[in-house]
Amino acid sequence: TQLLEQSPQFLSIQEGENLTVYCNSSSVFSSLQWYRQEPGEGPVLLVTVVTGGEVKKLKRLTFQFGDARKDSSLHITAAQPGDTGLYLCAGYSRSNTGKLIFGQGTTLQVKP
Amino acid sequence: DTAVSQTPKYLVTQMGNDKSIKCEQNLGHDTMYWYKQDSKKFLKIMFSYNNKELIINETVPNRFSPKSPDKAHLNLHINSLELGDSAVYFCASSQNRGFQPQHFGDGTRLSIL
């Protein structure tokens, strides 16, 4: 069974601080996706990383895929209250059925 | 204008009742999904259809029955509702069943009294 472990589960920080969220597995994933979910809404895709060692930037968010394609991280620089939300990593299972496996999520609160 | 829309947004009902949730996508995608998000925010796949064909059927009680009348619609019918069915149910779609981004609806919050 492929599993994704996310840490930390909860994070409460002050505006302007930096933070990193981790997504780890003992399995290799062909790609990993990061989603953000706000209260009362569905998850929205932020980024997909495909190549081992790949780094992608989205404004103040930096996403990295591990060299062995078993882990990923999300780093936010100078967090803002608008970054508050639930961050989910997800990877597609090896079988090509479109089954997306989600991590448990990281709830981020950025206080002004 | 909404890409993936599901109705109703809230569903409050008694234990033992039967209810349905509807989902429609206007993205022209071939694949649609149902997910369950529990109180700890964990999202788990329940079903997936590709061009009206069932391709993922996780270990879900057979009280849950998905139906896809066409590739733009995927409905979820639940019989004999139980307390443990209380959750937020999300519909999603993707271009095909490969390694594609998924587009989610805003969820249906089901509360069983």
Q: Does B74 contact chain A (CB < 8 Å)?
A: no
How far is B63 from B89, CA to CA, in rounded Å? 15
Residue of A nearest to B39 (CA): A104
Show Cβ contacts of residue B100 under 8 Å, excluding neighbours closer than 6 positions.
Answer: A98, B31, B94
- The neighbouring-strand residues paired with A90 are A33, A102
> Which residues in A lie closer than 8 A to residue B40 (C-beta atoms)?
104
Q: Is the pLDDT of residue B6 over 70?
A: yes
CB pairs under 8 A between A and B: 64
Q: Is the pLDDT of residue A94 over 80?
A: no
| Per-residue pLDDT at B37 | 97
| Per-residue pLDDT at A52 | 92
Q: Does A29 contact chain B (CB < 8 Å)?
A: no
Q: Is the pLDDT of residue B78 over 60?
A: yes
Residue-wise pLDDT tens digits, A36-89: 999 999 999 999 999 999 999 999 999 999 999 999 999 999 999 999 999 999
> Which residues in B lie closer than 8 A to residue A99 (C-beta atoms)?
45, 48, 56
